[in-house]
Amino acid sequence: MKAFILSPARLDGQRARTLLNPAAQFPLAVQLRRREGATIGEVFAFLSGLYFRGKLTYSLTFMGEPPELNPIRIITTSRGLLSPEHRVRVRDLEEFASVDLSVARAAFETPLLRDAKKLKRSLPAGAPVVLLGSIATNKYVEPLLGVFGDRLVFPSEFVGRGDMSRGGLLLRHAREGRELEYVPIANGVRHGARPPKLKPIRRP
């Protein structure tokens, strides 16, 4: 049993401007403006493309059963940890985008710590918590380490890879049904040389 924590998608790029354009008529943009909104997993997968899609696909593939003991949570800038099924609307994304993580420590960390502690209480003792995100920065690694300690792990093959390479790696392993090896963040190597490029997947 384990939990997955996914780093958030960026909300300041061209894809975000396209999605939040009130004149946009593609299905996700229209759904986001409706009362019921859209799931944050679907929205972030659109915003981030390959990287977030890789994280979400991988975590859904290897989450295990039952789901309540193997949860997936997504980091947000102001709402702590949300499940991929949590529904958001335009105003929620605008709120997320308004938080500058370089300066908003309490606004970001307070709900993150609240939900991380809640997640820890819901998990079996000793269950690992897999962080799928950048492990080279402390903006969310440090507060999560404070809650989970040695239980907070990450894929060792992330070291030295950029976002697109990580996304491709995760999608490849999900497709092949091969889970990556995890190592504790607390004493793991978090910086390293860039590994060789992934070999192209042969199409049938």
Domains delineated in the chain:
3-11+48-87+104-184 (3.40.50)
Predicted confidence band of residue 203 (pLDDT cuts 50, 70, 90): very low
Written as one letter, the residue type at 60 is L
pTM: 0.89
Cβ(145)–Cβ(152) below 8 Å: yes
Angle made by CA atoms 201, 40, 102, in degrees to the nearest 5: 95
- What region, left, alpha or beta, does residue 178 occupy, with left being phi > 0 and alpha being psi -120 to 50 degrees? beta
Q: Give 139-191 pLDDT, tens digit per residue.
A: 889 999 999 999 999 999 998 788 888 999 999 999 999 999 999 998 765 55
The CB density around residue 100, as the number of other CB atoms within 10 Å, is 10
**What's the confidence (pLDDT) of residue 30?**
96
3-state secondary structure (DSSP) of residue 114: helix
Higher pLDDT, 204 or 202: 202
